[in-house]
Structure 1
Amino acid sequence: MTTINAYLFFDGNCENAFNFYRSVFGGEFAHVGRFSDMPADPNFPIADEVRNQIMHISLPINKDCILMGSDTGGHGGPLTVGNNFSLSINTDSKEKADTFFTKLSADGKVTMAMDKTFWGDYFGMLTDRFGINWMISFAEPA
C-alpha cells in the first residue's frame, strides 16, 4: 500500500505547532526526533541554537493519515511561509520508491538521492518540474 501525507516545515516553532495540532486532532506523537539526535556530520554541522529543534515529528490523525513536520534547522535555505510543505509518499517496496522517485524527478531537481538513512528508511527528496516538493520513503517491515 502507498500513502501520501502532508509534511510541514517550520522556522523554529515546529514543536509549538504540533502541540497545537495534537490539541485539535487528539492522539499521541508516533515519533519526536531532535537535531541533536542526528549523528555528527562535518558537512552538515548542527548549530547549538537548533540542537533542540524538531528534526522529525509525526502525529497520526487516523490509520491512513499522518501529519508530519520539521524545523528547518538552518538547512535548505530560508523558509518561505506558504510554500513550507512537501508531500510525503510512503511505499511498501523499494522498487516502488525508486519508480516514484525517478518519474517525479524527471525534469525536476533532486534534493537528496534515494539512499539508506541513519534512521533506517530508504529515503529521498526532490522538487518536481512544477515546483512541488516530494519526500519518498520505504521502511523495511519490522
Structure 2
Amino acid sequence: MSIRLNPYLSFRDTAREAMEHYHRVFGGTLTVNTFGEFGNPEPTLANLVMHSMLETDRGFTLMASDTPPEMDLTIGNNVAVSLSGDEPDEMRGYWDRLIEGGTVTVPLEKQMWGDEFGMCLDRFGIGWMVNISPQAA
C-alpha cells in the first residue's frame, strides 16, 4: 500500500512532446496513454495524451496530460497536485478535507479506467487531482 504526491501538468496538444523532453532531461521510465487507448472514438482526441507518467531513478515523478478542447486551460495555471494511492479510507479522508471550503470540479467517483477519481480547487485556489486505485488482492 502506498500514497504518492506529485505535480500534474496540463498541456494543449503538446503533452507527449513535453514529457519526451522531460524524459530526456531526467531519464527514467516514461509511460504514455492516449484517449483512444481508453476508448474515446473522437478522432481529434484519439492520439492526444490522456495520462502520462515519468518515474526517474532519483525518485522524481511527473505526470501530464493534454486538455481536451472543451476544457479551459490557462498557461501559468496549468499545474495541479496529484494525490494517488491504494488506501481508500485514508484517500477519501484527504479528499473530504481538501474540499472543505473549496470547489469540486470533478466529483470523486469510479472512472472508465477502474479507479475512483476527482478534482477540486481547495479553499486557497490550489488544484488537486485525487485518484484512488483498487487495493491489490
CA distance in 2 between partners of 1:63 and 1:115 (Å): 33
Query: How big is the alpha-carbon RMSD for the aligned residues of Structure 1 and Structure 2?
Result: 1.8
- Which one-letter code corresponds to 1:17 in the other structure? A
Gaps of 5+ in 2: none
Cα deviations across residues 49-81 of structure 1 (Å, max 9, x unaligned)? 23211010001024743100000021422x111
CA distance in 2 between partners of 1:50 and 1:124 (Å): 21
Alignment partner of 1:89 is 2:90: no
CA distance in 2 between partners of 1:101 and 1:111 (Å): 12
Alpha-carbon distance, 1:141 to partner: 3.7
**Number of residue pairs matched?**
135
Residue 131 (structure 1) aligned to one of 91, 115, 125:
125
- When normalised by structure 1's length, the TM-score is 0.85
CA distance in 1 between partners of 2:56 and 2:112 (Å): 26
What is aligned with 1:102?
96
SS of residue matched to 1:17: helix
CA distance in 2 between partners of 1:109 and 1:39 (Å): 29
Alignment partner of 1:52 is 2:50: no
What is aligned with 1:38?
38
The alignment-based identity, stated in percent, is 35
What is aligned with 2:22?
21
- When normalised by structure 2's length, the TM-score is 0.88
Gaps of 5+ in 1: 41-45
Which deviates more from structure 2 when the two are superposed, residues 114-123 or residues 93-102?
114-123
Q: Is the 2:15–2:66 contact (alpha carbons within 8 Å) kept by the matching residues of 1? A: yes
- Which one-letter code corresponds to 2:27 in the other structure? G
